[in-house]
Amino acid sequence: MKKDTSEELIKLRNMKTELRSVVEILPETRLILRLDTDLPIEDGVILDNSRLKKSIKTIEFLLKNNCKIAIIGHRGRPTDKDENLSLKTVYLELVSLLEENYIEVESVFVENFEDNEKIDLALAANQIVFMENLRFWRGEEENDPTFLKALMEVTQYFVNDAFGVAHRRQASITLHKLMPAFYGLSFLDEVRKIEEVLENPKHPIMVILGGAKTDKLTYLPGLLKIADQVLVGGKLPALIQDSLQPPFDIEKEKLVVADLKENGLDINEESIHKFKEIIERGGTIIWSGAMGNFEVEENQRGTSEIALAVASSDAYKIIAGGDTRASLIKLG
């Protein structure tokens, strides 16, 4: 089962693989490394660290080439600085993962982006400087890189190894427009996997969309061009009508929208049965998002039943997004 990709991969259909690999970076240089640090954390415990694990090979390569790495990433949707959404826990997890891989490094956690002298000194004294949650600064989601100026002034390159958020129009993702840019080994691996699926897919292709992120609905037109059927659950059925405005035209049988339970927090039994029948026929299955509020036991059935159906299928599978993986881990 192929995991930890994102439905935004559909945008890569026309992408040429001339993306510059991190292996082209000169040794002994300073760089910014964008990671996918939005890990599911519950009561201070990381439920799934696979996104971080996938970037270890990129970090290891850079360290072997004596590069100095300033790591940036985000977590959650803070409206201001929020200790509960700090990246300190993720930083400590990365240090632990490096130690497990027998990689010893000098590292430090830095809480602000404004002081370039402090960042400069931190990079001089350490191999890894792990920066605080980007979204603590408004410039990140407003796509205003001004707050990253101090960091850019003391680094030479930008490396993106955060495939799952590469579609976002946010300051840290668009640094490739302002600095010489390269792509991490994990990022390029994901691109290759998706190219293989899109160039020679096994039909029928089934896409399962769930969760609560409404921006997924913006991908429906593209997904429906590629998929044989798209199944929609989670909170999305309640929102889908607003996203399908004329002249958007689809074949009705291609889009299967779940009916929700009365509380609106899980798909109902009839929809579970219908989804399972469709999944059984799948040749390729792409799943992103839980079918209900899986954190509450009474709303776990939809996600649990769909997970069992996907696991039992012989199809090529892509499980997309940390929340989907977290729900599967929670359900065992």
What is the per-residue pLDDT across 71-97, written as a single tens digit (0 to 9) for each?
999 999 998 899 999 999 999 999 999
Which domains does the chain possess? 16-186 (3.40.50.1260), 194-331 (3.40.50.1260)
Distance CA 85, CA 80 (A): 10
Q: Which of 63-67, 226-230, 251-255, 259-263 has the highest mean pLDDT?
A: 63-67
pLDDT surpassing 90 at residue 14: no
pLDDT surpassing 50 at residue 8: no
pLDDT surpassing 80 at residue 237: yes
Q: What phi and psi values does residue 264 have, to the nearest 5 degrees? A: 70, 10
217-226 burial: b if 16+ Cβ within 10 Å, else e:
bebbeebbeb
Higher per-residue pLDDT: 160 or 165: 160
- pLDDT (average), residues 218-247: 80
68 three-state secondary structure: strand
Higher per-residue pLDDT: 219 or 174: 174
- pLDDT (average), residues 198-223: 85
